[in-house]
Each structure stands twice: as structure tokens, then as C-alpha cells.
Structure 1
């Protein structure tokens, strides 16, 4: 991946590589600083060792990421939004020998790392260390070496570290940038935290296209008007955002306040996009391309995409589309037989170079998710079982049908929670809906943002859905709580209050 950075520094040295609240760096500057960080860091780590990076997302964090790679290691971003106890859990799995942080965040890291293992980015960035070790390190690197590890929640009670190689990112980003025509004229507005793989598309998509990465301060995502001012002032052209971030703006009618009309690409993922919110965005940006992306962290960002057609009716749902080149996506039924025809629902599975290396220091969990392809008994070949359900449409696209664990058995019927959410979200007076199932109580809880009274909404739902799909409770909320990755926090919803029916 360093070749992307060096090519940009060579071909477009003065082009702005990244902008944050306090600084901007050209590609030449970013490359020079990253090499300085790498040279200094190479005295502290061995090849293929993890390094934690703990600071606010920004240009300095990027230089730390690339510096870790120059030193022969791989990075893991420790998000300052996380509580210290969670970071300690991550470190218990990661086992990083050192952390790169800044002066503002040093005290937190002193609770986790010994003082000798804490390296300050301010000092690394101005290091005048001998850079000769970098050539030897580079010569020994290969494309299957790990690039980063992102941690997700794990069923064992410890976070799972998804380990991704250079090869997988190269395989995906080359195609991603070309498919959506990213160029050096693009200014990509980064929404995602740096420990969420949506940011991989921002960071490396910008490098590939020699575009500018505009790093949006996280506090603005609770201030829609300021967020829109920021997008307009920085002339952002591309948004690769989580659905919830886009809905934040449309829920509060932010686009009526100010439309970021320089935006020509809106790519969204993470959750099902509510049609009302999609229409709001498409109406305000009539010339922009809109794309629905799908894929879990374990397959390196995304494996399918669907470019929205403004003339098409999406009342039946937005397809997740077709596979990116060099990725095979297919459906397996409950007996591990491949599904080929439209209609039947199966588990979405993925094969290809973009698959992650596995879960870091977790061979059992790796073996459970990255499994031999049951269709191929002739030689070893791994696939990733996503745990997501899907089906084929009549024209051969994939339609997302929910999580395996979101498909419930209720009152004797198989129910998809997403189907209820889509139906309720389409009703008058509802902006958005989210459903949570409590298995022990056999109850479907629906939470919604909107003006309609819960009792009136219940009457409308009963006119639209069969009795076994009518939620047990309806709760109006001002906004949905979000996880650090920008997805709806369903557990937190169950704890909260609201008006019930």
C-alpha cells in the first residue's frame, strides 16, 4: 500500500493529501513525515508486529498508520471514544509492544502501556533518524503481510480483531476507485471512525486516486447545520458514509438549511437505507450518483454494489447488487447447497483475494467463519460465511434479507425484522424505524423517530401487516443511539424510554 502513497508524492507532490481541523498535508509532506515516523519506530518493533495508534482521527493519525507500515508492522486504531476498559480488552488480544499517541492522550495510555512503550507522534514526526533501515524492511515485505487489524464485538466476550493484508486492500481499492471514477479532483469527506472499515475506503481510495481526504470532526455528527456548513466550506465531492450519518441530516431537515451541491457521489452502507431518507438526499442532489454498498469487515469493506436508478421504484427494497470484480458472492442453503434461482433465501458467502487473513490470535473463531468451500472438494479453498441472509432478484442481483439472528420465529411464523422496519418506516408520520426482538419474552419491540402518536401508528400497522408481525410495543424516540461505528445500538434502545403503545 505504500506504493500508493509514494506514487502520489511523486506525481502530485503539492496536491493536498489530507485536511483536518488543525492542519493540512500535501502528499509530499505526508510521505516524508510517514517515513520519519517509520524510521524512528523501526527501532522499537520487529516486522509483522502490531502497533496501537491512539489519538483523534486526523493527519497525524494517518502519518502514524503509514509510519507503522514503513517500519514493517501493522496498525490498530484505538478509538478515543472507547472507554479505557474496552481498550484494555483490545490490547489483551492485540498484545501490541508499543503505542503511538499524542501529548493530549498520553495519560490514558499510561493506564494500559508501560511508559517505555508509549511513543509520542509529535516527536516521531520530526525525527531525523537514519532511514536506511527502511529499504531493508521494505525488501522483505510481501503483499500478504498484514496492513491493519480492526476490532469488532465478539461472542466470547472479548473483541475480535479482523486482520487484513496489503493484498486484500489492493485488490478491493483498485476496483473500488475505478468503478466509481474517483479522481484527483475529488475531496472525500471522511465520516467513519478510523477503527471502522468504511474509513479504509476513504483513506486508500484517496491515495489511489490522489484525491484529498477531508477528515470531518466527529462532534459535527451531532450538529447537522455545522456539519453541512463544513461540507460546503470544504467543497466535499464524495460521501462514503454509514446510513445513520446520512439519516442524521435528513431527519432534522438539514438539507433544507443548506445543500452541499459540490457532492457528486454518495455511497452508503452498514444498514438498510430508509426510502424516505434516500429520496430526500436524491431530491436535493439531482446530479449525484448514489450507490448502495454491502459487505462485512471480514471481506475488506464491500463485496457487492448497486448504483441507484432514479427512474426505478424501490418500494420492495434496494438491492445490494452485484459482486465487485474478482469477488464471488453466492448463496448457500441450510444444507450447504448453492442456490441459483430467484426467490429462496440463503446465507451470503464470499470467495476471493479480498478475504481477511482471519481473526487475530483467535484460530477457533477464524476456523468457524473462514471455512472450506463446500462446493469444492478437490483442493483447499476458503470462503467467508457472512451470517447474512440474501436472495436473488429476477434480474440476478442480490437482495439483502437480514441477519440470520434477525430472522425470528414469532407466534409460529418466520419473521424478518427488516421487513417490519421497512413497512413501518413507510407509514405517514414516521421518519425511521428499528425493531429489536426479545426472545426470552417473545416480544418484538419497535422504536421509531417521527411525529405520529404510538396509538395511531399501531392502528396503521395493523392495516398493513399480519398479526404476527405487529410489534408488541411501539416506542417513540427523539433519535436512535448509535454504536461507535455509526450503526443503531439495539441494546441501548431496549434500555431507553419513550412514549409506548
Structure 2
């Protein structure tokens, strides 16, 4: 018995806290949920972008046409189809058309991804067909024998030489364990790793509460994130599966947020939006990186605010918590429906409640794994001894512990738990203290070398000496950063997260200037 070493109370709480509710999923195929919305309200607006609109009926018909074209090109269930587009309405036709053909879509932002990355994605995902728009077709590094399908712009669609006229829906048998999308995450080898996520994975989080975010017909959902980031699937498929209108942003993120009822973002992206200008927003969900308490409190004062956690490999998020300003701590909550979370020691044994360990995720969220990477699959996926029956669990590399009342506290990454002067330091704990300083909205702490830490805070008028003293007053001396740099903003990656490499370069540049 894997719990024998625990006291009876901890054995009981292991199941009570770590197992999400068992609930039915309305449809294990996510595109079927979108098709139902199209049948129920064909004239409802599915999406809008820079003045262009498409209704659910139009989206469904043109996706059927694209699916038929893909099938004629030899695409079959289980295949992967590249979707190399910019944020747009054709992007939605591409997603739904690929799913209707039974394939998994492999998204890349054609405007941001370098040619070498696109070539790697085509090769690693074994995509024989890539979809883009005519404007960007020349940027796709297509190998010989592969096919390119260009969707026409602008909208509304007019059947032309590159767009088949709408026809009957393709009759394709898709299994819930077939791929829905393949996303490429950063890898230690310098090449991103492809993660295959199934329909069953996606439907479980998007079609059950609270992952459905209460989205209903008539709502407006902001689409702010890069299509190659898994949280974009939450925005896009989460919206369309529930009959709402997707507000696809242009260059102005805040403008799209102001017109929306529901906003899904990383904390970095959300920090650039002023809640005072968004009275319409009623629900906000953040994930992808630790959320600063001041940001969570600011939004929770006017909207339902969810702090969430989960890597790509566990399908968008696998824990959620509705945060209240009055909450004692900002936690990541509990497992979402049909999912589990275990806090384990290095020997994969459950730890008593309150002890810090590594979080492993189980249940319906666990993805199909990495493409053609047996070594990494063996390292990060393992048989689940707690669910048994062929289930697998995933090593998140996140540190956490259960609070006495059954909430998960996220304590950083295993690779964020660094050694400085021989002492173990959790970088997020340093940043958390900095964010408690009056006026500080965001803080990031990084290991600079074997002996020093460096911290960055926003906005620029935060007093660095006051911030550094706050850490010295709260934490041991080896946790105190050598310097605190106050910045107007923190640099971002193209996926809306803090660009830590850019911050370290900035620290080096400032040190060189001061010498």
C-alpha cells in the first residue's frame, strides 16, 4: 500500500485534498461542442477581429470545407497538421477544420517564430500539411513532398481559388484519446519538445466547472495570448465550446480586455491592464507563472478571480482557486474535476500534510506525452500507483505543500530552489517579500552566480533600498539580493511570461556601467 508510511489522518487527507471531484464530461470531443453551438445559434457571432466578424454558422461551414480539403490531401485521424498563422479569424477556421478532419493542430505564430523553429516543428511533429494565410505562405520552410494550404483573407470569406466552397460535413471517426493539439515547450537541449494533448484532456478542463469559467452564449471572451501557448486554447476553445464571442486582439491588449466579460492571461500580461478601465470584466483567470498577491487582490475586488496552475503536459491547468481579497494566502487551490495532485518526496512517497515536496499530477489531465522522446517521457511520466488501472502521473517540477485546510501552496519550481553560499533559497519567497513592499506591483528574483541574487521590481518609483531592507528584515541573510533594480516594466517573452534571460542581461549591463 503506497500510503502505509503515513499516519491515519494524513492517509485520509491525502485522498480528501488530492483528488478532484468525479464529474461527467458532456462531450469528450471538443469540436463537437463547437458544432452544437453552431447548430443551436448559427447567426450568433463566434469571433471578431479588427472589424471582421464570423458567425458560428459561417465558422462551421468553412471549417467543414477545410476539413474536406485536408482529407483529400490524405490527412487522417492521428495525423498532425501545422497551423502557422497570426492571431486572426482564419486562425479559428484552421483550428476547427483540422479537428473536424480528425487531426491535431500544431500552432505557431508565423510572425514571431523564426524559420529554424518552424522547420523543427514540421520535422518533429511530422506534419505533411501546413495551413497558413496567403500573405505568409512564403515564410513557411516547407520540405519537398509536403503540402501548403493557404486560407484567404480578408473576411468575410468569399470562395476563391484557395478556398473550397462550403460542403457537407466530413464523416470522420475521432476517438477521445486522439490528439487535439501539439504544443512545443522549451527544452533543455535548446530545441522545443512537442507535447501531444488529447481531446479527452482538453474537454475535461474546458467543459467542466470551474475550468469552463461560467462562459455562456452572449459572453465576450478576450483572446490575448500567442496561439503557440497552451492558455490560448483555453481562450479559443473555451469560448467557442460555450457559444460566446471571441474578441481577438490587435496590437492593443488592454482594448480587447475592456470589451470582454472574461479574461484569461498570464500575470505578466494581466499586469498591463488596469482593472479600473474594465468594468465589464466579471471573470479573470491567470496561470503560466506565479501571480503576485497585489495583482490578484486588485482584480479580485471587482471580478471573480481564479489563480491557477499547471504545465502544458497537464492540459492548460489542473488546479484552480477562486481568490478573495480576505484570503489569508494566495494559493493555487485544489485539483480540477477528474484530476489529482500528489505532494511526493524524492522516492515518490506521499508527504504528510504541510510538508514541502514535488507536485505530481494524475487523472484526466495527463497528456499523451512528448513526441519521439522516450528518455524525457520516462523521466517526467510514471505509472500512477494511487489511481492504478493503467493511469499515469506527471512530474510537474513544481514545489508545493498542502495547507491545513486543503489548499495547495505553490512554492516555486525545483529549478528555482537554488543554492547560494551553500544555503538553499526559494527564489519566489524572496519575490513574495518584495511584493509586500508598499507600491511594489511585481518582483522577480534570480540567481546571478554562486554567491549572489539579484531582484527586479516594478514600477520604477519603488525605492530599491527599502525593498532590500524588507527582505533583510524577513529572511535569512543569504536570501537578501545583492541589488534590487526598479524598472518601469519587466521584459516579456512572446508567450507573455517574464523574460528572465533578458533581466540577467540587464543586470550585467548595469554592473558593467557602474564599474
Change beyond 3 A, Cα 1:426–1:130: closer
1:224 matched to which residue of 2?
none
Separation in 1, partners of 2:40, 2:442: 46
Separation in 1, partners of 2:179, 2:146: 25
Separation in 2, partners of 1:82, 1:3: 30
Separation in 2, partners of 1:149, 1:448: 35
2:180 matched to which residue of 1?
147
1:363-402 counterparts in 2 under 5 A?
363-375=374-386, 380-402=390-412
- Structure number with greater CO (CA < 8 Å, separation at least 6) is 2
Alignment of 1:446 onto 2:458: no
Alignment of 1:322 onto 2:334: yes
1:428-443 counterparts in 2 under 5 A?
428-439=438-449, 441-443=450-452
Q: Does structure 2 retain, via aligned residues, the 8 Å contact 1:99–1:113?
A: no
- Alpha-carbon shift at residue 125 of structure 1 (Å): 7.1
User: Which residue of the other structure, out of 156, 160, 180, is the alignment partner of 2:213?
Assistant: 180
Change beyond 3 A, Cα 1:260–1:430: closer
- Alpha-carbon shift at residue 129 of structure 1 (Å): 7.6
- Alpha-carbon shift at residue 121 of structure 1 (Å): 1.0
User: Which residue of the other structure, out of 201, 204, 210, is the alignment partner of 2:243?
Assistant: 210
Which one is further off, 274-283 or 120-129? 120-129
Alignment of 1:464 onto 2:481: no
Q: Does structure 2 retain, via aligned residues, the 8 Å contact 1:36–1:125?
A: no
Change beyond 3 A, Cα 1:216–1:176: farther
1:15 matched to which residue of 2?
44
- Alpha-carbon shift at residue 114 of structure 1 (Å): 4.6
- Alpha-carbon shift at residue 116 of structure 1 (Å): 6.2
Which one is further off, 414-423 or 185-194? 185-194
- Alpha-carbon shift at residue 357 of structure 1 (Å): 0.6
Separation in 1, partners of 2:167, 2:462: 66
Q: Does structure 2 retain, via aligned residues, the 8 Å contact 1:389–1:403?
A: yes
- Alpha-carbon shift at residue 124 of structure 1 (Å): 8.0
Separation in 1, partners of 2:335, 2:469: 41
Change beyond 3 A, Cα 1:447–1:429: same
- Alpha-carbon shift at residue 22 of structure 1 (Å): 4.2
Change beyond 3 A, Cα 1:209–1:455: same
Q: Does structure 2 retain, via aligned residues, the 8 Å contact 1:292–1:308?
A: yes
- Alpha-carbon shift at residue 131 of structure 1 (Å): 4.7
Q: Does structure 1 retain, via aligned residues, the 8 Å contact 2:300–2:323?
A: no
TM-score by length of 2: 0.86
Alignment of 1:479 onto 2:489: yes
Change beyond 3 A, Cα 1:456–1:351: closer
User: Which residue of the other structure, out of 26, 29, 33, is the alignment partner of 2:55?
Assistant: 26
1:244-263 counterparts in 2 under 5 A?
244-249=268-273, 254-255=274-275, 259-263=277-281
User: Which residue of the other structure, out of 322, 342, 346, is the alignment partner of 1:307?
Assistant: 322
Which one is further off, 390-399 or 407-416? 407-416
Deviations 1:114-146, CA, capped at 9 Å, x for gaps = 5962211125873038657x21xx13x211111
> Considering only aligned residues, what root-mean-square deviation do their CA atoms show, in Å?
2.2
Alignment of 1:281 onto 2:299: yes
Q: How many residues align?
A: 472
TM-score by length of 1: 0.89
